């Protein structure tokens, strides 16, 4: 087994040299037309595929507004609706969670009497129903005051946009 000394190897080139281009055999003449490089064949490769859609004509375009999904009013609406859900949910579930925590970790408080024969736990359980009604009323109030006006404004703008598109 013989090893070549490192000094006899040619130095490494970066980038490596390009591979040699293969020329046509000498007995064949090059074609009289230019050969396209890296283009799709002019025939359908897969006959079951639908034909490619025609390219749209390049004509004068009117300036378009951004798509309705990216509209800032929709972001505002989502934020208002998210706030509305959180407030109503935390009102109802927060009170119920507080009731459960008191039941589990403060049994002496829950068994204490508020009035003659009325334990604190029972009173807090009965208050759960009005708290649920309060959460529902708060949800409706915030919907009417904050969410519905934004939704109405977006709805009217969408109708104007639809009429504008239909007129084209």
Highest mean pLDDT among 31-35, 76-80, 99-103, 146-150: 99-103
The CA distance from 168 to 162, in Å, is 10
> By three-state DSSP, how is residue 101 classified?
helix
Where is pLDDT greater, at 92 or 168? 92
Task: Report the sign of the C-alpha dihedral through residues 93, 95, 99, 102, in that order.
Answer: positive
Question: Over 70: is that where the pLDDT of 73 sits?
Answer: yes
Cβ-contact 77, 154 below 8 angstroms = yes
- Are the C-beta atoms of residues 138 and 84 closer than 8 Å to each other? no
Other Cβ atoms closer than 10 A to 96 = 14
The pTM for the full model equals 0.48
Q: For the chain, where are the E strands, in sequence order?
A: 113-115, 118-119
Q: What Cα–Cα distance (Å) separates residue 1 from each residue in 4, 10, 30, 102, 146? A: 10, 21, 48, 85, 86
User: Which tokens hold the place of 127?
Assistant: 């208050």
Instruction: Note the pLDDT tens digit of each residue in 104-144.
Output: 999 999 999 988 889 999 999 999 999 999 889 988 998 89
| 68 or 133, which is more confident | 133
In the numeric block, which tokens belong to residue 29?
């003449």
Identify the pLDDT of residue 98: 93
Please give the pLDDT value at position 7.
Answer: 59
Alpha carbons within 13 angstroms on the beta-carbon side of residue 74 total 9
The pLDDT tens digits of the residues spanning 23-61 come to 555 555 566 666 556 565 555 566 666 667 777 776 666
């Amino acid at each position: 087994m013989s090893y070549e000394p490192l000094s006899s190897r040619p130095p490494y080139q970066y980038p490596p040299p390009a591979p040699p281009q293969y020329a046509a055999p000498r007995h064949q003449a090059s074609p009289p037309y230019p050969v396209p490089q890296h283009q799709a064949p002019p025939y359908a490769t897969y006959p079951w595929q639908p034909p490619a859609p025609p390219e749209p004509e390049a004509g004068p375009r009117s300036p378009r507004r951004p798509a309705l999904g990216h509209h800032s009013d929709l972001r505002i609406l989502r934020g208002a609706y998210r706030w509305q859900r959180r407030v109503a949910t935390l009102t109802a579930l927060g009170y119920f969670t507080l009731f459960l925590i008191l039941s589990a970790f403060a049994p002496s408080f829950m068994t204490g009497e508020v009035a003659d024969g009325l334990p604190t736990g029972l009173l807090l359980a009965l208050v759960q129903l009005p708290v649920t009604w309060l959460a529902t009323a708060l949800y409706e109030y915030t919907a009417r005051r904050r969410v519905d006006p934004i939704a109405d404004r977006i709805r009217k703008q969408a109708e104007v946009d639809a009429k504008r598109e239909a007129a084209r």
